[in-house]
Structure 1
């Protein structure tokens, strides 16, 4: 029940944000439009706008995962899966692009930057899981770090893209994915060599106990 109320409140808020921004006043107005008291709104989103944006991002990520599953992403190459995931997320946000723009501005505030990073991590983690990633070693973190850079830069490019059907954005995304694959490959080889060298060193020069 509370989930449905959250969705309804978010939808009402998205109609207000392009004009008033992501503010407590806008959230209160949206609550009034949904016949919710300020106490009701506080129960649904204890941290106010910060929680609303986290919820909004999670809703979008869930839709991305569903869309990838419907489109048979499992049968695609990893590069195509990730590209589709990023593109799908941006396409889902297109109807509310101005609200997204104001959301990006919201997270540039010093006290909100960490929350913005949490949202980005949620997104790239969901994308890799939807793409079938099962890594548990250093690759788990390096993949998400590299994709965070791709997603963030593509998002900013998309916000200012005026080309038809965002053609320039999709070209930009393809270039960034290609660059990251090269970096990721080089990074993996480097870490692999370092790990192998460390293991070899431990075998050849075992630690000895200090004499009393």
Structure 2
């Protein structure tokens, strides 16, 4: 997924707001304090962030995604099993977080009913970037199921990590392994059901139905996040 370059002034606003978020959350007052500290024209700040602190909360999440992708591309994954590559990617995403309180406040923000779609979109985006960085080539229904499953795993990991006070987040590392193991067991069950001849009268028509589902075509020439071209 292609994203537009981040304006340096927006990066400055993000750096400036973080100390305030710990006390005020991603609130208008925190955004106003950041604008004053950066000494930016308030009108320009509103152009960069029409929703104020909410847009900076989104930018903070996307900054973590970008750091994770960079670290993942630099990592030597050649000796890893695929499940370990996915687990490593999740660990890198958690390690990319440099302000736990900012994430805690962001989790509360995106749990609000009117913000839940935005929060879900961000989690989906993280899962999408992980699969893309790991070279996922699926173009059928698996494109969706992989990202949906990983979205659930990552969301649960973040919630667990927020309450983890173990040394070097060792408990979170173990939790990631357990979640990945659960996913792998689920995939094994799916394969068994799919290959079970007794269930073919049910799974056969369902498979034919699902075969019509295709991954969305991305639009490389349009540098906007979340823009797709209908393959039809």
For Structure 1 versus Structure 2, the TM-score category normalised by the shorter chain is 0.7 to 0.9
Which secondary structure does the structure 2 equivalent of 1:73 belong to?
Answer: coil
Q: 2:205 aligns with which of 198, 203, 210?
A: 198
Report the aligned-residue RMSD.
2.4
Q: Higher mean Cα deviation, 127-136 or 67-76?
A: 67-76
Instruction: Give the 3-state SS of the residue equivalent to 1:156 in structure 2.
Output: helix
Are 1:45 and 2:52 counterparts?
A: no
Give the aligned partner of residue 13 of structure 1. Answer: 17
Q: What's the TM-score, normalizing by structure 2?
A: 0.79
Residue matched to 1:210: none
CA distance 1:74–1:66, change in 2 (3 Å) = farther
Give the corresponding residue for 2:108: 105
- Cα deviation for residue 27 of structure 1 reads 0.6
Per the alignment, do residues 201 and 83 of structure 1 end up closer, same or farther by CA in structure 2, a change over 3 Å counting? closer
Q: Identify the match of residue 147 of structure 1 among 130, 147, 150.
A: 150
In 2, Cα distance between equivalents of 1:120 and 1:22: 18
TM, length-normalised to structure 1: 0.86
Indicate the residue corresponding to 1:177 in structure 2: 180
CA distance in 1, matches of 2:128, 2:166: 29
1:45-194 correspondence to structure 2 within 5 Å: 45-73=49-77, 76-93=80-97, 95-188=98-191, 190=193
Out of 193-202 and 129-138, give the one that drifted further: 193-202
Q: Deviations over 1:114-166 (max 9, x none)?
A: 11001001100001111111111111111111111111111001000011001
> Which structure ranks higher in relative contact order (CA pairs < 8 Å, sequence separation ≥ 6)?
2
Q: In 2, distance between residues paired with 1:88 and 1:2? A: 21
Q: Give yes or no for contact 1:31–1:38 (8 Å, CA) kept in 2.
A: yes
Q: Which ranges of structure 1 fall in alignment gaps of 5 or more residues?
A: 203-212
